[in-house]
Structure 1
């Protein structure tokens, strides 16, 4: 996650200019209008199940999406043309915000903003103070917006929620998830009559990831019955593959993973299937050298470097996808020419899980592991299209399977087991 932050900045003074831009990472906008903690109506404390007050303050929050939920283009286009091209989604929106504030609820907007054009971003930033100026008097609001399409802040990722959660915890306050709600228009609804389909289902998935009740704007503001949309949403979760942890990690598992004698070990598996982590855990401590084409640039250079290590009496692991017989044959020929054994470890990670891992490690990768960038979906699709199952007949001394087992803390696993943002395929 980027460490450089914007400094807090006031919008230029003027009759319609309100609000402050808080310090935030470059890919996140954090705007506040008034301080909800300064309001006496926000000092309520939730009762525990036993009826007594909890030891820390709990505050119920209404989380909102922005476009298509609180506001819409005033000129009728799909996208706003300027900072002034907006109006409330329904005339009842301001009064509902006022009523929720008076109930002691906090109001927080969680929005995805993906347009990379600087002029559009400047207009959008300027619009926030105009929105704040139209909110009923003394009603605070906090607006967070994800600017990047590929980091932890973008919904359905929970990065924006985590920013808010930490801010509240630092004030000795807990968000009352049980009594909070997320209101958003991206529910995954199909087209119906003259009404087009939703642009996605990221709002619904975000709510599920955080643990919030989800409702559409029509339910929240207009009291309409719940519309039809896929519940649960369409998308990948690791739990859909069953209990991965119940599978044996190594197949067969009765012999040691490493060997004391000189050898070549060839990894086969899609990107983000756990190959490099497996090397660091099992092979690096046993003195194996790491050969990776992403680091060395070309296969020929990988072959030369590997041969040099072997000439020095050092064992090597070839940590690439090695998807087909043709690619693997280069390493088999090297092993035959140098008269060293070659074994293969096949990482049996389903391609959809590998795609999921790709996003997880780019957004939430552990701090004690190398930073990983988000790979394009083409890397996974091309692997799947060219994959040929490895066979002992190719010339290997041994083939072993490696099932994917998630390794990390309970908090890391909780994030891994959520809906991830979905890059274009």
Structure 2
């Protein structure tokens, strides 16, 4: 008697062929990986736009003159691990591609009903285990999940692989990929009727409910403008659990009076001068120093001296002295956090008998950390690309900082309060919850 082949998990009808990951047969793998940046996976199973019933025509401001109206689509966005699936073998993390099962037996039928109601299904997941074997197993698992999705139900899965770029939740990079895809096809995402379902809500844990590993799902939903619910609420109709609303975390709006502060204090004299001078910046990383230089000093012929670019303080001093000897004004754009560091520049000014002024950037440290992530993930295209600085850069600045004083030998000290400058869209992103770097 010929051997009978087993299905992937033993629960499928006998007539259905096993998945090739288990049988080893050369069968077609379900779904496909779409072209995407190196730190993003974009997997699709079936075409959600193939069914005309999945779109609802609504008037929009961008309706064309011939009466054609754009279509809005409601989307159920899901986290993956802990929301749609969980490890089958009971561990905290899956051990292989087949170590998974539905989060609850009702999940596949629930997804089918949502599809029949005209909703699109999209998974937004944070991954990022750097081990190549783990990454390969995870990619292989996506086709296994597609094989267990109810027949004819399309699903897309996006996963952020890096732990430090715009794609990682609560960053909205993955949503922007989806938004552009729909826009390019002539559709809009109906945010009012869409939802994000995720288990990272910031629950502290009580009784049978374990502590959430974070609150990135909730913050992602708030950043995008989506209604947020937990899997228990969505699939099981449980009451809303307790978690901090709004979530714990920094937002620029928490500083309240930031926009009302004068940009420069005092502000009754010109920022630049016509005479030869040294201008010394003091402030934490990502406090706006380089942008301030480009806006006010570069156009007036001041040369930019930056240790991150030049490598050492000695090299900065030598190059600055050369420029000054040629009659060119300079700006020293470093953190210059304490008296000892600033004294090098004061001695140079005294030796060359030229004035030295100081601009103190009064950006709070928490805002500087926020700016660090914003500019690395969403920095304007017309500004230099920035990499994400480690938290050590900010913590060490705070630990070593000494407030500058005119008694150190400066001719003038002026304060610079942080004012955001950018488009409305850039401001919207700056106002969001940012990725909380552990580096």
* TM-score normalised according to structure 1 size: 0.95
Q: Which residue of 2 aligns with 1:3?
A: none
Q: 1:205 aligns with which of 206, 210, 219?
A: 219
User: Is 1:217 aligned with 2:231?
Assistant: yes
Q: 1:37 aligns with which of 49, 58, 67?
A: 49
Separation in structure 2 between the aligned mates of residue 247 and residue 13 of structure 1, nearest angstrom? 68
Choose 1 or 2 for highest CA Rg: 2
Whether the 8 Å CA contact 2:121–2:156 is kept in 1: the answer is yes
Cα drift, residue 318 of structure 1: 0.3
Q: Which residue of 2 aligns with 1:321?
A: 335
Whether the 8 Å CA contact 1:83–1:126 is kept in 2: the answer is yes
Aligned-partner SS, 2:240: coil
Q: Which residue of 2 aligns with 1:128?
A: 142
Aligned-partner SS, 2:41: strand
Separation in structure 1 between the aligned mates of residue 380 and residue 251 of structure 2, nearest angstrom? 20
Q: Which residue of 1 aligns with 2:412?
A: 398
Separation in structure 1 between the aligned mates of residue 216 and residue 132 of structure 2, nearest angstrom? 24
Separation in structure 2 between the aligned mates of residue 330 and residue 47 of structure 1, nearest angstrom? 65
Q: Which residue of 1 aligns with 2:261?
A: 247
Separation in structure 2 between the aligned mates of residue 236 and residue 54 of structure 1, nearest angstrom? 43
Q: Deviations over 1:266-314 (max 9, x none)?
A: 0000000000000000000000010000011111111111111110001
Q: How many pairs align?
A: 412
Cα drift, residue 391 of structure 1: 0.5
Separation in structure 2 between the aligned mates of residue 13 and residue 160 of structure 1, nearest angstrom? 34
Cα drift, residue 244 of structure 1: 1.7
Aligned-partner SS, 1:162: helix
Whether the 8 Å CA contact 2:58–2:69 is kept in 1: the answer is no
Cα drift, residue 43 of structure 1: 2.8
**More deviation, 188-197/216-225:** 188-197
Q: Which residue of 1 aligns with 2:133?
A: 119
Q: Deviations over 1:184-221 (max 9, x none)?
A: 00000002124321000000000000000000000000
Residues 178-193 of structure 1 aligned to structure 2 (within 5 Å): 178-193=192-207
Cα drift, residue 245 of structure 1: 1.9
User: Is 1:21 aligned with 2:41?
Assistant: no
Separation in structure 2 between the aligned mates of residue 370 and residue 25 of structure 1, nearest angstrom? 20
Q: 1:300 aligns with which of 309, 314, 327?
A: 314
Separation in structure 1 between the aligned mates of residue 312 and residue 59 of structure 2, nearest angstrom? 63
Q: Which residue of 1 aligns with 2:424?
A: 410
Separation in structure 2 between the aligned mates of residue 412 and residue 48 of structure 1, nearest angstrom? 23
Q: 1:280 aligns with which of 286, 294, 313?
A: 294
Aligned-partner SS, 1:38: coil
Aligned-partner SS, 1:37: coil
Distance 1:16 1:188, change over 3 A: farther
Q: Which residue of 2 aligns with 1:94?
A: 108
Whether the 8 Å CA contact 2:59–2:70 is kept in 1: the answer is no
After TM superposition, which residue ranges in structure 1, 4 or more long, deviate above 3 angstroms? Answer: 11-16, 46-49
Separation in structure 2 between the aligned mates of residue 47 and residue 405 of structure 1, nearest angstrom? 38
Unaligned runs of 5+ in 2: 1-20, 62-66
Q: Which residue of 2 aligns with 1:353?
A: 367
Q: Deviations over 1:9-28 (max 9, x none)?
A: xx998558310100100000
Distance 1:285 1:23, change over 3 A: same
RMSD: 1.6
Q: Deviations over 1:369-415 (max 9, x none)?
A: 11100000000000000000000011000000000011111111111
Q: Which residue of 1 aligns with 2:6?
A: none
Unaligned runs of 5+ in 1: 1-10
Separation in structure 2 between the aligned mates of residue 290 and residue 101 of structure 1, nearest angstrom? 57
Whether the 8 Å CA contact 1:392–1:398 is kept in 2: the answer is yes
Q: Deviations over 1:158-177 (max 9, x none)?
A: 00000000000011100000
Separation in structure 1 between the aligned mates of residue 229 and residue 59 of structure 2, nearest angstrom? 24
Separation in structure 2 between the aligned mates of residue 381 and residue 215 of structure 1, nearest angstrom? 35
User: Is 1:175 aligned with 2:189?
Assistant: yes
Q: Deviations over 1:323-353 (max 9, x none)?
A: 0011101111111111000000000000000
Separation in structure 2 between the aligned mates of residue 193 and residue 136 of structure 1, nearest angstrom? 34
